[in-house]
Structure 1
Amino acid sequence: MSAILRLPESTAKDVSLVYQFVKAQNVAKVESATELSLEVSGDVVEGAVTIAKYFAAKNQPELLGSSKTEQVEVEEWLSWVIALKALEKKQVVATLKKLDAHLSTRTFVALNRLTIADLLIFANVHKFSKEIKVTTMPNVLRWFDLIQNVAVKNNNIKDFDLIEINLKDVPEPVFAAPVAKKDKKAAAAGDKAAKSDEKAPKADAKAAKADEKAPKAEEKGDKKDKKDKKEKKEKKIAAAPVESDQAPVSRLDIRVGFIHSCKKHPDADSLYVEEIDLGDGAGVHRTVVSGLVRWVPIEEMQNRWVICLANLKPASMRGIKSEAMVLCATANDGSKVELLAPVDTSKVQPGDRVFFEGMEGEPEKILPPKKKYWEAVQPDFKTEDDTLAYFQGKPFLIKTASGETVKCKVLLFRVVESNKLIYFTNNDNNNNNNNNNK
């Protein structure tokens, strides 16, 4: 090992986070120092972002982006990190409000999956976390909580205390009623007419008296118009959807699937393209793109039962539209990824739904991206020593045609540690959903 990371104890926590997350112990040994630097074969590398990129490139290059387009996007946010590190406390809080607006329609900062930008921004925002209020920056807090669970908690990262975050009291957004262009013109015309009325001759008084003697048909017509408008308004109000108390996890359409074929993506070495039967009809198969090449041999992806999320908005992944996501489990240290499947495949069929006892409900046809249902439940998806999948201690249960319930387990092709975090493997099709690039 020819590299030495000289790491100050109280500062450079962002570098420490990346170093631990990518398991860079095999890349460089750590020494305590007063100033941050990395010595590689006699050459000295300086700058937190540059050093962090070095470790990512060595052990998890996908954190830097898998294509030139992605790399450019990540680099832009790394420049943002450098600027953030130079700001004072008040300036940081103001800058985070802009980040909150950016995250209102995204799960991660740069791409549709975790990148080094998320790790570095999280590390630099962590010390300001108490200044972030749920009423003003709910999107930043939601993202912050996701990163601290996915990156810190589940990888046993040191130096970062877990922050308790309550997103239940987020106020509903208040939108001002938009003023149409025609209304603005009408208002302007009304103001102009009012001014001209002040200068109008007194002959208008005679016209007013004549109007008093006019038939009252117009008045009746006005009343009828007002009544019609009121009725239409009441109908619109009555038709407005009411937010229910349905459990967020029940809004996910998690189904049993059967992979009929799997091949390599023609334009991405890390992706598989599967044809999966999800019970949509006889002979109907969905195309699903999954980042599993690194983890599961292609022969183990053929004619295989899996568990999928079926109601994400379809999205293009390197030119191929992916219509669902395969659920997997990963070891705590990120060293292994395994597929989930029914415990007893003889009793299930494609399309059978997964449910959680006491949390049943009708799933959304398509998960609305802004609701962030997946992000809300994902940290509580686990597997235990029995290799079964759970949500908040409740097992994944499959409703079968016979009325029996079947549980879900990790497919143990190889030795896998217990207490894994379940996550999506279809990384770029997130709806802005939370994904890890494995």
Structure 2
Amino acid sequence: MATVLRIPEKNANEVLLVSKLVQSDAKIENSTELVDGEKLDAPNTIIKALVSKSKKAELLGTDKIEQAQVEEWLSFANQSLRGVGKKEVVSNIEKKINQHLSTKTYFINNHLTIVDVVIFGLLFAHSKNIKVTTAPNTLRWFDLIQNTVIKANNLTQEFPLVEINLDDVPEPAAPIVAKKVDKKGGDDKAANASGKGNKKPEAAVAGDKDNKQGPADGNKPKKEKKKAEKKPAAVPVESDQPVVSRIDIRVGLIKTVKKHEGADSLYVEEIDVGEEEPRTIVSGLVKWYPVEEMENRYVLVLANLKPASMRGVKSYGMVLCASAADGSAVELLAPIDTSKVKPGDRVYIEGQEGEPEKVLNPKKKYWETVQPELHTNDDLIALYGDKPLLIKTASGEAIQCKAATVKNGGIK
């Protein structure tokens, strides 16, 4: 007999989302009694029970440190977002959540956890209150989750996509203007301030008027605002280039590996990707590889991610791995023939070549768009859609990439 999941109507959104995401076979009903067979008297308890019994148990955290953070954020969600007034929710969106996400892609580390899913479910009804002017980081995160969780798992019927334009995020020019205005009068100081400060605006907006009106402090704030609005609109060309060609994947050679001093599940690697110095990259591979199997190994490196701090160590990229659908294996991708490649050789998709971005703009979600299409096939070959990932070698020969044993697995 299938489990019946009974939830109070006011708590239905986030619990329903978790249930759908982990593909629970529990029947959903609205009631004050919760799960049959055992007394689970809080939504967070139900959520953790659903996830722990599913194939997505890693959403509860991959180690003890992450699990503690998950508990902390679920507690925050329960006290500050669930069953409270609109004003308190909006305040938390604009302050605590927006501040926390100012340096993070997800709530915990650099990957999805149940915290992202639960808070998205709780904020879904308040999506109109997530303003780009007051909570741009929250809005960027909300859009990421609705694309990588809702859309990717075909849950748009229950959670329709919210139209979001991240290009409206204002430029952080206000502090510069404030400093100029606060300067005490005096022609010499005003001239010096405008001489130093006007170089950036001239680069942003061409025209002779800036030079003529430079000393007039009263005109500066208005001109700054206009420039800030024009900057985001100046990038129209990108639609002609295939999105996958913007991703910079390179052959890397791991030179050294050591355990992360602050996290048992992480390695800190120095990887040669064809640059003057090896890159420091942090990877959660301790569970899957001993140190001796990591050293002097060829890998594929996603090289143009925005650098991220991983437990106090700055990581300048990500090694790509194939993951079994049931979570039983994670394997580093590598060139089929390592004798024909060298560190720094680029990976491309035939017919979709282009110049990669120097650093991927998180707002554009290029990697989040490409990643779901990456996978291995029955022959262990790494593909983007139905086309193989190819390495451009110095000799002109195209070398494919593969996993060791993971067939039909995702790549991330």
**Does the TM-score normalized on the shorter chain lie above 0.5?**
yes
1:18-61 per-position Cα deviation (integer Å, ceiling 9, x unaligned): 34545666xxx557452352456x5x121112322344456636
- Alpha-carbon RMSD: 4.6
1:350 to partner: Cα distance: 0.9
Specify every segment of 5 or more residues in structure 2 that has no aligned partner in the other structure, as ranges: 206-230
Task: Encode CA deviations 1:224-265: one digit per residue, 9 max, x unaligned.
Answer: 999999887775545559865456766654211123565655
Report if aligned partners of 2:60, 2:70 keep a CA contact under 8 Å in 1: no
Counterpart check, 1:86 vs 2:83: yes
- Give the deviation of 1:121 after TM superposition: 0.8
User: Which residue of structure 1 aligns with residue 63 of structure 2?
Assistant: 66
Matched, 1:375 2:365: yes
Q: What amino acid is aligned across from residue 75 of structure 1 in structure 2? A: E
Partner of 2:318: 325
- Match for residue 258 of structure 1 among 235, 249, 253: 253
Q: For the Cα contact (< 8 Å) 1:74–1:111, is it kept in 2?
A: no
Q: Please report how far the alpha carbon of residue 109 of structure 1 lies from its aligned counterpart in structure 2 after TM superposition.
A: 2.7
Q: Is the 8 A contact 1:258 1:303 kept in 2?
A: yes
**Is the alpha carbon distance of 1:184 and 1:299 closer, same or farther for their aligned partners in structure 2, counting shifts above 3 Å?**
closer
Which structure would you say has the larger RCO, counting Cα contacts within 8 Å and 6 or more residues apart?
Answer: 1
* CA gap 1:415/1:401 in 2 versus in 1, 3 angstroms: closer
Q: What secondary structure, in the 3-state scheme, does the structure 2 residue paired with 1:143 have?
A: helix
Shift of 1:290: 1.3
Are residue 307 (structure 1) and residue 297 (structure 2) matched? Answer: no
CA contact (8 A) 1:36 1:48 kept: no
- Which amino acid letter does the alignment assign opposite residue 17 of structure 2? L
Q: Structure 1 vs Structure 2: percent identity of aligned residues? A: 41
**2:132–2:166 Cα contact (<8 Å) kept:** no
Question: What is the correspondence of 1:14-413 to structure 2 with a 5 Å cutoff?
Answer: 14-21=14-21, 30=27, 32=29, 34-35=31-32, 37-38=34-35, 42=38, 44-56=39-51, 60=57, 63-64=60-61, 66-68=63-65, 71-72=68-69, 75-76=72-73, 78-88=75-85, 92-93=89-90, 95-98=92-95, 99-100=97-98, 102-129=100-127, 132=130, 138-155=136-153, 160-163=158-161, 165-167=163-165, 169-173=167-171, 175-176=173-174, 177-180=176-179, 184=182, 186=184, 236-239=200-203, 245=237, 252-260=247-255, 265=260, 268-281=263-276, 285-295=278-288, 301=294, 303-312=296-305, 317-318=310-311, 322-330=315-323, 336-355=329-348, 360-361=354-355, 363-364=357-358, 367=359, 371-372=361-362, 375-381=365-371, 382-383=373-374, 386=377, 387-390=381-384, 396-407=389-400, 409-413=401-405
5+ long unaligned stretches in structure 1: 191-221, 424-438
| Alignment CA distance shift 1:86-1:347 (3 Å) | same
Aligned to 1:416: 408
User: How far apart are the structure 2 equivalents of 1:152 and 1:304?
Assistant: 36
Q: What corresponds to 1:6 in structure 2? A: 5
Q: Is the 8 A contact 2:267 2:284 kept in 1?
A: yes
Q: 1:193-249 CA distances to partner (integer Å, 9 max, x unpaired)?
A: xxxxxxxxxxxxxxxxxxxxxxxxxxxxx8x99999988777554555986545676
Calculate the TM-score normalised by the size of structure 2: 0.68
Give the 3 Å change call, closer, same or farther, for CA 277–20 of structure 1 in structure 2.
same
Tell me the matched-pair count: 371
Report the secondary structure of 1:37's partner residue: coil
